[in-house]
Amino acid sequence: MGDFLLYPELLTEMNPKHLNSLTIVQALKALAKKQISIDEIYESVNLAVKNNQNLNIYLSLNSQAQKQAQKANKTNLPLAGLPIAVKDNYCTKGLKTTASAKVLDNFIPEFDATVIQHLQKAGGVVLGKTNMDAWAHGSSTETSDYGRTLNPRNPDYLPGGSSGGTAAAVAANTCIAGLGTETAGSIRQPSAWCGVVGLKPTYGRVSRSGIVAMASSTDSPGPITKTVTDAALLLQQIAGLDLKDSTTNPVPVPDFAQDLKRGIGDLKIGLLYHDVPELKKVMNLIEPELKVFERLGAHLEPVKALDPHYAISVYTIVQRAEVSSNLARYTGVRYGLDRSHFAAEARRRIMLGTFTLSKGYADQYYKTAQKVRTLYRQDFAKLFGHYDLLISLSSPGFAKKIGVTAGEAMFGELEDLILEPSSIVGLPGLNVPCYRDPKTNLFLGLNIMAPMWREDLILRAGYAFEQATNWNEWAKND
């Protein structure tokens, strides 16, 4: 592996030549003090991108990135021109956007997604577009029509998905921070597998306008970053009501950084899914990590919640239905390639969704799924009546070896087992690294969830955990 494949050990000290490994906070500080220049950051990042080409992280690069960064840097914008890795399902004006699907092989959008507009307004720069599972269908980045991405922590393994490209981009320090999207696990699971921070905001907190739709009722764009503070900073810039997306919400966006360091001594936390059989093995590994919360003064106890397995059915039915509908527009009549270019996974989802919406089956499947969705909503409402936060693992285990998804149609759903219940309900969740296997260098992630619109709470808890443990090397210089 190249010089820039950074294992945690290599990060213990800030190497001035490795400016690509800076966090947003560190980079802004150094830029403000004029210790480094924006051009130096780009030189370092560009080199990292080049040296990590074997990981297949970026599908395309923005040739204007550095120029745009210089401009943003001069005008004193909050993100100062920092390079951001963007998942390829965000429409970027004039920049190829494929969602890793051959059907959109040559699609160049006419407009920027709202999130991209916000990002640019704040001085963030789209460095490049990252690989993902085609159409975001998957949890491995192995179903990309442009080849799989490898996990920077250990290239024999997958990065997870569907935002695997962005998670890998952050983990490999080929950017300062990144943007992903999640319907059920697509930010948190790859973040867990790659050992980075990933925040899935409340559904409706961040605009979906300009994002290639996957499952419209659950799609949530969000940041994938090196630290919790960075996640808070990036979310701050992209969140809020968007008149172009009717499902965004007018609830005010708080200052996420403000309460970040307030601690969690006053919080009551419920431990979710500790007794789910699939999780037994890894639960033991993070047992000591859970004690950290108590050490920080929070009250933690296991809770009984509605079995997450039902959520697989609900999610599969609802999501496939929406997928079959959202992909109907890709006919190749006006743009893109025709439907014969859909790969196996997309075809499976289109067929299943079409079936569950068909006459005579819609009641049996789609409507029943919506009813169960309501049950989960009620269950979470009940739980949050007692607890400020709920925590669980972000994934049932460590990253899987490359090639594992072949022939496993339900790979993603089983992988996202513990995230699907809260995703179909729209709750926010944050992945923070919570364990590293010294043999494989692979990570486990902790999923911290709060009621709708309480990203401030999960960021607070995430920050406290990050600072109290040693799993996040980047956070040490925070």
Q: Minimum CB separation from another protein for residue 419, in Å?
A: 19
Least Å from the CB of residue 363 to another protein = 12
Site string for another protein, 364-393 (x = CB under 8 A): --x---------------------------
Q: Which of 246, 252, 295, 385 binds another protein (CB under 8 A)?
A: 246
Q: For the residues of 266-318, what is the DSSP string, one character each?
A: T-EEEEPSTT-GGGHHHHHHHHHHHHHHHHTT-EEEE-----THHHHHHHHHH
Contact between 184 and another protein (CB under 8 A)? no
Q: What is the CB neighbour count within 10 angstroms for residue 314?
A: 23
Distance (Å, rounded) from C-alpha 74 to C-alpha 60? 26
Tokens of 387: 């607890």
Type of residue at 247: T
Site residues for another protein, window 414-433 (CB under 8 A)? none
Instruction: Give the one residue of 241, 292, 310, 335 binding another protein; rule: CB under 8 A.
Output: 335
**Stretch near another protein under the rule CB under 8 A, chosen from 55-63, 97-105, 170-178, 447-455:** 97-105
Beta-sheet strand order (sheet of 58-61): 58-61, 125-130, 83-87, 177-182, 220-225, 197-200, 429-437, 442-449, 389-393, 268-271, 299-302
Among 268, 280, 281, 329, binds another protein (CB under 8 A): 329
Q: Is 217 a catalytic residue?
A: no
Report the nearest approach of another protein to the CB of residue 115 (Å): 11
Residue numbers 185-244 binding another protein by CB under 8 A:
208-213, 215-217, 243-244
Among 162, 207, 324, 395, the one annotated catalytic: 162
- What is the b/e burial string over 217-248, where b = at least 16 CB atoms within 10 angstroms of the residue's CB? ebbbbbbbbbbbbbbbbbbbbbbbebeebeeb
Nearer to another protein, 154 or 207 (CB): 207
Q: Which is nearer to another protein, 7 or 111 (CB)?
A: 111
CB-nearer residue toward another protein: 47 or 213: 213
Query: Whole-number minimum distance, CB 29 to another protein, in Å?
Result: 35
Residue 87 annotated to the active site: yes
CA proximity to 298, closest of 267, 270, 262: 267
Give me the helix-helix angle, 309-326 and 368-386, nearest 10°.
Answer: 130
First to last CA, the chain: 27
Q: Does position 107 bind another protein by CB under 8 A?
A: yes
Cβ–Cβ under 8 Å, residues 153 and 1: no
Q: Which residue do the tokens 């009620």 mark?
A: 378
**For another protein, the closer CB: 51 or 247:** 247
What pairing do the DSSP bridges indicate for beta strands 389-393 and 268-271? parallel
Site for another protein in 278-297 (CB under 8 A): none
CB-wise, 89 or 131, nearer to another protein?
89
Question: Given 144, 186, 191, 392, which residue is catalytic?
Answer: 186
Query: Which member of 33, 63, 284, 333 binds another protein (CB under 8 A)?
Result: 333
Q: CB atoms < 10 A from the CB of 108, how many?
A: 14
Stretch that binds another protein, among 64-72, 106-114, 285-293, 446-454 (CB under 8 A): 106-114
Q: Which residue has the tokens 């999960």?
A: 458
Question: Which of 183, 145, 172 shows the shortest CA–CA distance to 415?
Answer: 183
- Smallest distance from another protein to CB 3, Å: 37
Question: Of 124-132, 318-326, 387-395, 443-451, which part binds another protein (CB under 8 A)?
Answer: 318-326
* Matching residue, tokens 């500080």: 29
- Going by C-alpha positions, the residue among 273, 287, 225 that lies closest to residue 463 is 225
Q: What x/- string results for residues 113 through 142 when contact with another protein is judged by CB under 8 A?
A: x-----------------------------
> Is 422 among the catalytic positions?
no
| Residue 317 touching another protein (CB under 8 A) | no
DSSP state of 149: P
* Cβ 473 to another protein shortest distance, Å: 36
Binding residues vs another protein (CB under 8 A): 91, 97, 99, 104, 107, 109-111, 113, 208-213, 215-217, 243-247, 321-322, 324-325, 327-329, 331, 333-335, 354, 357-359, 362, 366
Q: Which residues are catalytic?
A: 87, 162, 186
